[in-house]
A and B are shown apart, each in its own frame.
Chain A
Amino acid sequence: MMLIVRSAVPALALLCLTAAPIAAQNKDDGLAIGRKMLADDNPGELWVERGKRLFFEKRGPKKASLEQCDLGVGPGRAEGAFARLPRYFPDTGKVQDLESRLLTCMVELQGFKREDIVKSRFGTLDRDSDMEALVSYVGSKSNGMKMNMPLADPKERDFYKAGEYLFFRRSGPLDFSCATCHTEDGKRVRLQELPNMTDPKQMQMVVSTGWPAYRGTQASVRTMQHRLYDCNWQMRQADLGYASDLSVALTSYLNHHANGGVVQLPGVRR
């Protein structure tokens, strides 16, 4: 039937961090007007609003808000947190990205079960994801700031270099690595532009204007973890563990390339 059906989404598919950044599309290719019209009134703003409510609401078995959640810039502070993640957190002894850290707070402070949050991490057309809303809110609180991910702690440098190794690591029935699709300029899978992730300029655009980003084809905000999950799916690997060290290491590698990019979240993608 005509009206885009949910089941069609996997078929339309999504290779690694496809979906070129909206703001980069200034050339008049027939697509630009539509992208601008969507970006000007981004439905992702609805996720930001919901995320803000969820952040301050007393929730979970422990009836706590996230106002004591330390995202790396002090308890309850969302301002500027995204621009400095992933980073090392002494309390967990781990390098964590935004989602991994929110997961920690929702479990430790609010008493949610980890497996429940993981299960509902990606929203569907019938069920919103709290995580997607929270990430939209926290991400938006770095808007206007420059990405400035630290590599001060040795663990952060371990993750960065492991992320680099993993970016180039080929495996699976299609012999893919991230690098297969993301190390050259001007490449496309079908009509979908593929950013060159070894180019800091392109990475600044990819990271600082999404993810999180509202995806028109999925009618939802999607996060970096979802982006990596879908890449990994397209590479024919098993379900990528949510907030796994591998996913955080890749994010460390990519986000550090994006340092200096001005954050404007959530973004909009196809």
Chain B
Amino acid sequence: MSEPMRIRATLQGDVADVRILMRHPMETGQRKDSKGEIIPVHFIQSVIVSHNGKQVLDAQWSQAVSRDPFLGLRVKGAKAGDKISVTWTDNKGDKRTDEATVAAAS
């Protein structure tokens, strides 16, 4: 079972600054386990970010994105209370969606 993402969305003017940390091994398929066997490639291939249900970012990744990936983006025309939804899908077909609310600038 995957772990929740950590999504922070903060308003700066009318732009939401969105910062997402995901828990994922992002295995390259090059690493060996303690028994010397190759650990199969396992990485997030796609990340979709939506703002109030409308897609604002469609990311395609390779296994070269770091373990426990970070994604930062900015969304124009946002207001405090807007919904940011993030869905990742990995190469094994596992997926996870988490949501956050845009917070007013602190």
Contact = CB atoms under 8 A, between A and B. Distances in A.
B42 to A, nearest CB: 11
Interface in B37-86: 39, 63-64, 66-68, 70, 72
Contact of B30 (A5, A43, A125): A5
Given A41-B19, A46-B23, A219 B68 contact: yes
- Interface size bracket, A side: 10 to 19
Contacts of A126: 33, 39
B95 interface: no
Contacts of A49: 3-4, 6
Nearest to A126: B33
A70 B20 CA distance: 33
Interface residues of B, number: 20
A6 B64 CA distance: 15
Contacts of A50: 3
A1 B39 CA distance: 14
A120 to B, nearest CB: 14
A50 B30 CA distance: 28
Contacts of B63: 3
A45 B6 contact: yes
A6 to B, nearest CB: 6
A265 to B, nearest CB: 16
Contact of A3 (B33, B64, B70, B72): B64
Contacts of A2: 30
Contacts of A219: 66-68
B91 to A, nearest CB: 15
Contacts of B23: 46
B6 A5 contact: no
A2 B30 CA distance: 9
A7 interface: yes
A105 B28 CA distance: 38
A41 B72 contact: yes
Interface of A: 1-3, 5-7, 40-41, 43, 45-46, 49-50, 125-126, 219
